[in-house]
Amino acid sequence: MEVKESPDELAEIFLTLGFPADKMNDKYLDLEITPNRGDCLSVLGLAREYAAYHGIKLKKDFAELKPTLRKSDFIDIRRPAQKDIWRYSYLIAEGGPTGESDGTIKERLKLIGLNSKNTIIDLTNYLMHETGQPLHAFDLDKIKGISINYARQGDTIKLLNNQTTKLTEENLVAYDGETPIDLFGICGGGKPAVDKDTKRILVQAAAIVPSAIRRSSKASGVVTPASYLYERYVDYDLTLRALGEAAKRLRAGGWQIGEVVDITHELPAPKSLELMPGDYRRITGLVTNEENIAAKLAGLGFASAGGSSYTVPSWRAEDVKTTESIAEEVLRLDGFNTIKEEPLSSAKKEPRYEDYRLGARAALAKDGFAEQYSYSFISDREALAGGYKKEDLVEIANPLSLNFQYLRPSLLIGLIKAALANPWINDFKMFEIGNVFLKNIETEKLGMISTRANDIKFGDVVKITPGSDLGRFFRVKRSLYFCEMDAGSYKGSADTGAYINDAVYQTISKFPPVVSDISFVVAENCNEEEIIAAAKNDNRHILIAEIFDVYRSRKIGPGQKSIAMRLIFEDTKKTLTAEDAEEYRRQTIELIKKNYHAQVRG
Amino acid sequence: MPRNHKFPKGRLHPLTQTLSRAIYILADMGFETIEGPEVTSEWNNFDSVLVGKNHPARDTQDTFWTTDGRVLRTHTSAMQVPAMTELGKKPPVRIIVPGRIYRNEATDATHEATFYQLEGFAIDKNINMGHLVWTLKTFLGSMLKTDIEMKFYPHHFPYVEPGMEVMIKWRGKWLELLGSGLIHPNVIKNMKLDPVVWHGFAFGVGIDRLMMLERGIDDIRLTYSGDLRFLKQF
């Protein structure tokens, strides 16, 4: 295929076809291929897509190698394996030499991360990536016959990479007598491998049911480019085409082609699907005609089957099974960006405060709590420290690590850890609404934690003192107060509006902050939010500025109020010194004095 | 004179703020909010939405399993079929499902094992890709408060056909933002509805990701840290 576009333009074309580029340079594009498009895990597959996009034909014709026989005495595919092997084709070649591959082959293999071995192995790898058909070559002088079946439990195979793998009844295996010589569809065995002395080869190309290879790969733990392809479906009509290409190159390399055998079991029947302009309109909202549908589908290999029916080509057999999916093929070529917006009929719903417990969350924020979201997992040791019995807990079978072994039965552990994430702040309270888990019950709870006993008014209060079991486990430095209840039992409700803002994140320094308080008296009509904003804008080292107390008294006098403000200073580049902090504090005090005529109290 | 106890000001977590805005915007478009369990059956999470046992898509959503054979849901799509069967909703419907989901992957600045997703789906007699595109453009335009450039391109998910991804242009870069598509007829069947009569679209957006874009947060782990230097910024 001749490509006229730049790499960027080519990437854009493949994006519109459904293959975003992960990365690229001027030598290659790395495209994301979804699991339904096994046919595009090859140059041939992608070239087909490109050709369809441009409405042109492929330049290269992968003509089938004509078989000389439809059965073989050399190959025996046993009954249990037959239902999973659609087709087994092979050629025999003699002569050699098996030397070193030429520069272009080596370079291209290197680009896709493969090492060059010898002309035959390189050829099978190259053609697998070019056509999408895995090929494997055996040194014919090293084997007496091939029998393919599900393995005997306990057999082992030594693979090409010298790894020895235990086999089970889930593995399709080629045997030479009693010896496994190929983890079929996945990886060849070391014994009959082709080397520089090889003079006779058998090149096999098989079409295999995807689930068989998936089971085999999972059972053996071996994953290869071949198994990856098979799991995603390899066209059952590709074997003789890939062998045709192999034969061409073998002949050019001085080899003589002997027998060509094609054994088929029950091949999947080609399917026809209907797509009328009416269907297309119903699905996409777009108007088109029969000519466009037929032309676009023809370009992708969907031949007309009369009327509005089209035959699904063999390489799309696993993917295209419904009218919607064939419509998607036309839409892909016409372009998803051509879809015209169609409004849904007008219908408003009133969001309820119970929705996502928004009303409750806002009420707690109004009451001065900061909202926390904690992880859902706790560790074995945390469970113990919390006094939970393991048989009551939901256990994870495949945790990320031992820190994530159980699902939380309560919000307690998460909120203690959140509290401990704030050693610099003396006084705070947090809430969390989230799901907790006991053996068969998932409940939504509301949990609250505070440095002050007064804040924790509901249900059972848990006091976590430094000397308590929990306190010692978490190395709590000062007492914390916690309570928890069913989220639905909390009846507070407020409007979220006041607690939704546009604030943009300011990077938190990895160096410790300095917390500093200032108090001042200002006129009653001074806007607190404004003062905070002014302080922050004045100094980028102020990460947080918040007012933690406002009061009026006879001593302060009428028309005035006393404000206590807490500042958290930080420097992203270093640890703040006492002098730095003092300087910033002074700067803020000056600003407030100047702009708000404040009397600073300390 | 009264002493004011309401300081320091309480905060809604930026995740809640994002979800709250999304819920209101979508309510305006006729979507009702429902929720579902975080621990669910294999059938609900995978089979009901056509991700079968041998499907390679099960790899791409590495899953946490409980020792008693249940699954920590890997997407809020796990609620699509239960909404229409267990919860007894009858079409036409417009539904959103906000919720926590779980993925068994190594955590780093952009990946977490626990995060939030918002599922949206509509089922009616006449629903097509045009309705989906309108819904996404309207929703995202309102969420991000700007006329953002969007690209739509084909993508495969087992539960939608056609399937579509949306990219937005954010600060000069194109970013993948959400997956969507027309609900697969076999999922409609699993909902005990006749796919010849009823059609639908569905979309799912990562809320943590959306929040991080809106706020300029560069490390997802901050979200769950409990650090008040983070929480008090919002």
Query: DSSP per residue over A391-431, as a string?
Result: GGSPBBSS-SSGGGSEE-SSSHHHHHHHHHT-TT-SS-EEE
The whole-number pLDDT of residue B148 equals 84
| Residues carrying CATH 3.30.56.10, chain A | 7-54, 272-335
Percent of chain B with pLDDT over 70: 95
Helix A358-366 vs helix B14-28: crossing angle, to nearest 10: 140
Residue A373: its chain B contacts at CB < 8 A? 13, 15, 223-224
Cβ separation B12–A361 shorter than 8 A: yes
Residue A434: its chain B contacts at CB < 8 A? 100
Confidence band of A89 (pLDDT split at 50, 70, 90): very high
Confidence band of B118 (pLDDT split at 50, 70, 90): very high
Per DSSP, the three-state class of A98 is coil
The whole-number pLDDT of residue B37 equals 97
Tokens 């041998």 -> residue: B54
For the cut 60, the answer to whether the pLDDT of residue B3 exceeds it is no
Tokens representing B13 are: 């977590």
- CB hemisphere CA count around B152 (13 angstroms): 24
Cβ separation A373–B151 shorter than 8 A: no
Per the prediction, chain A carries an average pLDDT of 93
Q: Report yes or no: B75 and B203 within 8 Å, Cβ to Cβ.
A: no
Facing A324 at nearest CB: one of B30, B63, B182? B182
Q: How far is A562 from chain B (nearest CA, A)?
A: 11
Inter-chain CB pairs, A–B, below 8 Å? 303
CA–CA separation, A7 and A30 (whole Å): 11
Phi-psi category of residue A297: left, alpha or beta, with phi > 0 → left and psi -120 to 50 → alpha: alpha
Cβ separation A499–B122 shorter than 8 A: no
Give the phi and the psi of residue A62 in degrees, each rounded to 5.
-80, 85
Beta bridge partners of B117: B99, B206
The stretch A523-541 carries a mean pLDDT of 92
Cβ separation B33–A343 shorter than 8 A: no
The whole-number pLDDT of residue A189 equals 92
Residue from A14, A341, A435 whose CB has the most chain B CBs within 10 Å, to mutate? A341
Give the phi and the psi of residue B194 in degrees, each rounded to 5.
-85, 115
Residue A419: its chain B contacts at CB < 8 A? 226
For the cut 50, the answer to whether the pLDDT of residue B1 exceeds it is no
Cβ separation A328–B154 shorter than 8 A: yes
Q: Report yes or no: A385 and A470 within 8 Å, Cβ to Cβ.
A: yes
CA A314, chain centre distance (Å)? 29
CA–CA separation, B106 and A193 (whole Å): 38
CATH of A355-497, one of 3.90.45.10, 3.30.930.10, 3.40.30.10, 3.40.640.10: 3.30.930.10
Residue A368: its chain B contacts at CB < 8 A? 5-10
Tokens representing B80 are: 């699509």
CA–CA separation, B106 and B113 (whole Å): 7
**What is the interface pTM, i.e. ipTM, of the complex?**
0.95
CA A594, chain centre distance (Å)? 54
The predicted-structure confidence for B184-232, as pLDDT tens digits, reads as follows 999 999 999 999 999 999 999 999 999 999 999 999 889 999 999 999 9
CA–CA separation, A274 and A79 (whole Å): 36
Cβ separation A15–B12 shorter than 8 A: no
The predicted-structure confidence for A234-289, as pLDDT tens digits, reads as follows 999 999 999 999 999 999 999 999 999 999 998 999 999 999 999 999 999 999 99
Q: Is A303 exposed, middle or buried (0-12, 13-18, 19+ CB in 10 A)?
A: middle
The whole-number pLDDT of residue B29 equals 96
Of A164-178, A317-331, A480-494, B2-16, least confident by mean pLDDT is B2-16
Residue B39: its chain A contacts at CB < 8 A? 394, 407, 437, 442
- Upstream peptide bond of A313 is cis (omega within 30 degrees of 0): no
Facing B152 at nearest CB: one of A215, A339, A437? A339
Q: How far is B48 from chain A (nearest CA, A)?
A: 18
Q: Give chain B's largest Cα–Cα span.
A: 71
Helix A277-284 vs helix B129-143: crossing angle, to nearest 10: 20
The stretch A482-510 carries a mean pLDDT of 94
CATH architecture of residue range(s) A7-54: 2-Layer Sandwich (3.30)
Q: What is the CATH number of domain A75-264?
A: 3.50.40.10
Residue A289 Cα distances to A54, A113, A280, A321, angstroms: 19, 45, 9, 22
Minimum Cα–Cα distance from B103: chain A residue: A400
What residue spans define the domains of chain B?
Answer: 14-231
Per the prediction, chain B carries an average pLDDT of 92
Residue B231: its chain A contacts at CB < 8 A? 370-372, 430
The whole-number pLDDT of residue B106 equals 78
The stretch A28-33 carries a mean pLDDT of 90
CATH fold of A506-600: Alpha-Beta Plaits (3.30.70)
The whole-number pLDDT of residue B5 equals 45
For the cut 90, the answer to whether the pLDDT of residue B53 exceeds it is no
Cβ separation B129–A231 shorter than 8 A: no
The predicted-structure confidence for A422-464, as pLDDT tens digits, reads as follows 999 988 999 999 999 999 899 999 999 999 998 888 878 999 9
Closest listed residue to residue A61, CA positions, set A74, A51, A73: A51
CA B186, chain centre distance (Å)? 21
Tokens representing B190 are: 């699993």
Q: How far is A400 from chain B (nearest CA, A)?
A: 7
- Whole-prediction pTM: 0.93
Q: How far is B227 from chain A (nearest CA, A)?
A: 5
Facing A349 at nearest CB: one of B19, B27, B154? B27
Q: In one letter, which amino acid is B88?
A: G
Q: What is the CATH number of domain A272-335?
A: 3.30.56.10
The whole-number pLDDT of residue A116 equals 92
Tokens 């799509």 -> residue: B77
CA–CA separation, A323 and A310 (whole Å): 10
Q: How far is A568 from chain B (nearest CA, A)?
A: 8
Closest listed residue to residue A327, CA positions, set B188, B160, B97: B160
Minimum Cα–Cα distance from A434: chain B residue: B100
Facing B156 at nearest CB: one of A35, A211, A285? A35
The whole-number pLDDT of residue B72 equals 95
Q: Report yes or no: A168 and A151 within 8 Å, Cβ to Cβ.
A: yes
Residue from B129, B142, B177, B220 whose CB has the most chain A CBs within 10 Å, to mutate? B129
The predicted-structure confidence for A327-370, as pLDDT tens digits, reads as follows 999 999 999 999 999 999 998 888 787 899 999 999 999 999 99
Confidence band of B61 (pLDDT split at 50, 70, 90): low
Closest listed residue to residue B131, CA positions, set A79, A283, A124: A283
Tokens representing A92 are: 């025999």
Give the dihedral sign, CA B139/A352/B34/B12: positive
Q: B14-231 sits in which CATH class?
A: alpha beta
What is the secondary structure of B66-115 as a DSSP string?
BTTS-EE-SSGGGGHHHHHTTT---SSEEEEEEEEEE-----BTTB-SEE
Cβ separation B28–A362 shorter than 8 A: no
